[in-house]
Each structure stands twice: as C-alpha cells, then as structure tokens.
Chains A and B, each alone.
Chain A
C-alpha cells in the first residue's frame, strides 16, 4: 500500500469511528489521541498535512505481514508523531503525540 492509500484508508477509519487505541495494559498519558485531548478532526487534519517525506512504514515486529505506518507532520510549529496499523476490521492507533518533548 502506497502512502496515498494509507492516508485515505486511515482517514476513512477515523471518519467512520472504526478504530481502536492500542493499550499496553494501561492508558498512555502521553498519547493525546487516546486520552481524548485530540479529536478525530484534528488527527485527520494532521494526517492530511503529512508529506511523503514525513512518512515511513516498516513490518510489525511481531507480525511481519502487517505494516506499521509512522507519520511525522509539522504543524503550528510542532512536529507530531502518529503511529498506527491496519488490522481486521479497522485501524489500530499505537500513538499520537508531539515529538521531541
């Protein structure tokens, strides 16, 4: 899946509310999306804002058939870090936070 497809698919998941937040037993207070401090529209805006050179993907360390996508958009003077993968039936967000903090 190319960057454009990743972008449009994850935006569809966000618009449909068909996504989960990954939890490692506890809720990560640094993950602003998981804690409800960023809403869907704000995350969609960040994703739309991401350029091709601010995107990378690599196979999940446990399940090599699943790609983990990392977006690092720069917006309003801040660098953001958005990490997710697609898993049936929807998207799984690993983290959304400001980077370099």
Chain B
C-alpha cells in the first residue's frame, strides 16, 4: 500500500484554484454535519489557498474510527405523508430552511421529549390515530450518536414503544400536533433559534 509522508506534494484540483499542487500536512478535519472531528490526520492542503483538498487512503482508518464512534445508522420506513409533515413543519419554522433541517428537527424533538423538556404525554397514543394508519412507502434514515440512541431507548421504555419505527412515527405525529396543525406553532421561538444555529 502506498504511504504518503508529511511534506509530500501532489497534484490536485482545488475548488478555488483549479489544477494546482498541494502538500500533505497534519490537519483536523470535521464531518460535514458537524457531528465530529478527525484530529491530526494527514490531508492534502492546497499550496495557494491553504484549503484541505483531499485525504489519502491511509487516513481513512482514523476517519472510520471516529465515524463509528459517533454514528449508528438507523433506517425506518414511514408513510409518505409523514415526510410531508416534516417538510411543512420545517417551512413553518423558517421558510428559508431546506429539507435537510427535517432530520435535525426530529432529533431535536427526540432530545426535548426524552429529557422531559417537552411533555411526553400520550406520545404512544398518537400511533393509534387515523393519521398513523397508512402504507409505509418511504425510507427515513438518520445517523445517530450514542446519546441519541439512548434517548430512543428511554422513550421506548417510558412510552411503551416497540421499535425505532414507532419512536420516529410518534415523534413526527407530535410535530404535526405541535407545529403543523396549530395556527400558532408551539415552541416556535425556541425552534427558530435552533434553526438559526443549524444554518
């Protein structure tokens, strides 16, 4: 396997400078969802603008370790209108937000409910509503750190939910009740603050 050294130079296409050269240097590189940081890995840094342009294969092991530490993929299937609920809620919080905020909103609710800052009242009951009964034809996937996984477990226990699907379904139905249905959405100022930090 090829191993590069600190100070080695290579050709790159830099997004700012085009075809140019970069030098391998030690850098901290973060994940683009800002969930974590891979410290002190060799990365090719553009000689002109000092931007990290690429990481060599040998740095992938540290990236993987950091990624696995913080991320567990969770995949559930949901009825199509559940994703519409999230889109509408996101738009009501801030019309300039893209749908990438949808997952953040769900995780925010997970945190607020599991910590009892938002009331857990009758969360499980929402699953018996008419809105909950539909074909689950869409995929919803999130990557969660250990903290969120534990929050899911605590909600399952306190609300007698059977699995991840039931947790996410009830969270989204609560978002429907809190944000989509009311003329005056609940928790609006707080969610707008969160959205501002997210953007």
B-binding residues in A (CB < 8 A): 16-29, 34-37, 60, 62-63, 66, 85, 87-90, 92, 101
Q: How many residues of B contact A (CB 8 A)?
A: 37
Q: Least Cβ distance of A67 to chain B in Å?
A: 12
26 contacts between A and B (CB under 8 A): A16-B2, A17-B2, A19-B56, A19-B57, A20-B56, A22-B54, A23-B29, A23-B52, A25-B51, A27-B29, A27-B30, A27-B32, A27-B55, A29-B31, A29-B67, A29-B143, A35-B31, A35-B67, A36-B63, A36-B64, A37-B64, A62-B19, A87-B12, A88-B10, A89-B10, A101-B141
Taking a contact as CB atoms under 8 Å apart, the answer to whether B67 and A36 are in contact is yes
Q: B19's contact among A17, A18, A26, A63, by CB below 8 Å, is which?
A: A63
Interface SS, A side: loop
The answer, yes or no, to whether B181 is at the interface (CB within 8 Å) is no
Complex contact A22–B1 (CB within 8 A): no
Contact between B54 and A20, CB atoms less than 8 A apart? yes
B126 within 8 A of A: no
Closest residue of chain A to B41, judged by CB?
A27
Closest residue to B61 on the A side, CB-wise?
Answer: A36
- Closest CB of chain A to B83's CB: distance in Å? 13
Q: Identify which of A23, A87, A89, A101 contacts B55 (C-beta below 8 A).
A: A23
CB contacts (< 8 Å) of B141 on chain A: these are 101
Residue of A nearest to B34 (CB): A26
Can you list, as one digit per residue, whether each of B93-115 has a CB less than 8 Å from chain A (1) or not (0)?
Answer: 00000000000000000000000
Residues of B within 8 A of A92 (CB): 12-13, 54
**Known: A36-B60, A36-B67, A62-B19. Contact between A25 and B52, CB under 8 A?**
yes
Q: Give Cα A21 to B54, complex, Å.
A: 5
Report the separation of the CA atoms of residues A49 and B38 in the bound assembly, to the nearest whole angstrom. Answer: 32
> Given the complex, which residues of B lie within 8 Å of A63, measured CB to CB?
13, 18-19
Contacts of B35 in A (CB 8 A): 29
Minimum CB distance partner of B4 in chain A: A20
Q: Shortest distance in angstroms between B23's beta carbon and chain A's nearest beta carbon?
A: 13
Which partner residue on chain B sits nearest A100 by CB separation? B139
Taking a contact as CB atoms closer than 8 A, the residue among B1, B13, B38 that contacts A27 in the complex is B38
A34 to B56, CA, bound (A): 10
